[in-house]
């Protein structure tokens, strides 16, 4: 299990994020998805008796903003040598084929040879943004590549027994309002989904289980985002 460092969230997760399955974090902009993911990248390096995975991690990001500044800030919370940014492999993929290629070729190498124990994709939604879906054939192509990606993630998570976290954004649906992006088909492919949301107090966020094979759904916990960490 990989702990988040936020006690209430770890309690909700019955200890932390489990290896072997694909966990999705969804939520509106500013709900803390990236901040939580970056904290996980650092915590994965901690020994297992401190809630880590005693391993390296891989952060696949899909916009051009490097996470290094934010990782550096978060790293200040740890003792000397406890965590190192050198133990985080950064992979950028800005379109669907780049991401699929990274999942199929680069990631298995990292998992095989570099003791990577956590993989984060931030955010899956971004690679599909701007891709026109003008016809049923376009939609079919998009679904096909989406299924191929998530299939790859599930196989790698299980085969290497690593924690796999994929971030998804929200979209507006004319009938039901603001919902996780990528539709029902995608949601049936991830193993579990958690939704992060802003709450009245601007320093806090909520973390809610939407579905999971082993956790009660609709249960939520609050966590705090301070200037340099989540707790
Ligand atoms: P999107 O990526 O826009 O979908 O948002 P997100 O849900 O990933 O939110 P993110 O984690 O980026 O931001 C959550 C909160 O983290 C923000 O409201 C800020 O309080 C804080 N934050 C964002 N960027 C930084 C940063 O560079 N440094 C620090 N210390 N905090 C940041």
pLDDT at 229: 73
> 3-state secondary structure string, 37-66?
HHHHHHHCCCCHHHCCCCCEEEEEECCCCC
Ligand 1 close to Cβ of residue 225 (< 6 A): yes
- The string of pLDDT tens digits covering residues 205-215 is 999 999 999 99
pLDDT at 231: 81
The architecture (CATH level 2) of 7-224 comes to 3-Layer(aba) Sandwich (3.40)
- The string of pLDDT tens digits covering residues 118-148 is 999 999 999 988 665 556 666 778 889 999 9
Helix 33-43, helix 68-75: angle, nearest 10: 60
Q: Encoding tokens for residue 198?
A: 């802003």
Ligand 1 close to Cβ of residue 30 (< 6 A): yes
Distance 30 CA to ligand 1 centre (A): 5
User: What value of ipTM does the predicted structure carry?
Assistant: 0.94
- The string of pLDDT tens digits covering residues 24-60 is 999 999 999 999 999 999 999 999 999 999 999 999 9
- The string of pLDDT tens digits covering residues 97-110 is 999 999 999 999 99
Distance 33 CA to ligand 1 centre (A): 8
Please give the biggest Cα pair distance in the chain.
55
pLDDT at 100: 95
CB 39 within 8 A of CB 83: no
Ligand 1 close to Cβ of residue 169 (< 6 A): yes
Ligand 1 close to Cβ of residue 70 (< 6 A): yes
Q: Encoding tokens for residue 66?
A: 């490097």
Q: What is the best residue among 28, 29, 34 to mutate for testing ligand 1's pocket, by most ligand atoms within 8 Å of CB? A: 34
Question: Domain boundaries in the chain?
Answer: 7-224
Q: Encoding tokens for residue 136?
A: 């049923």
């Amino acid at each position: 299990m990989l702990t988040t460092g936020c006690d209430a969230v770890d309690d909700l997760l019955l200890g932390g994020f489990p290896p072997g399955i694909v966990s999705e974090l969804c939520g509106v902009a500013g709900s803390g998805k990236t901040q939580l993911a970056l904290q996980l990248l650092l915590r994965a390096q901690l020994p297992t008796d401190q809630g880590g995975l005693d391993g390296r991690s891989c952060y696949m990001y899909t916009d051009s903003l490097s996470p290094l500044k934010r990782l550096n800030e978060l790293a200040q919370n740890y003792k000397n040598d406890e965590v190192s940014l050198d133990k985080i492999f950064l992979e950028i993929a800005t379109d669907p084929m780049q991401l699929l290629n990274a999942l199929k070729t680069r990631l298995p190498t990292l998992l095989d040879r570099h003791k990577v124990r956590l993989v984060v994709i931030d955010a899956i939604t971004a690679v599909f943004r701007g891709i026109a879906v003008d016809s049923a054939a376009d939609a079919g192509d998009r679904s096909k590549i989406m299924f191929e990606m998530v299939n790859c993630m599930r196989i790698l998570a299980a085969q290497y027994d690593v924690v796999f976290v994929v971030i998804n954004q929200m979209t507006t649906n004319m009938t039901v309002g603001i919902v996780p992006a990528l539709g029902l088909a995608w949601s049936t492919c991830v193993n579990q989904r958690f939704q992060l949301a802003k709450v009245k107090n601007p320093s806090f966020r909520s973390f809610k289980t939407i579905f999971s094979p082993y956790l009660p759904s609709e249960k939520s916990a609050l966590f705090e985002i301070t200037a340099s960490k989540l707790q």
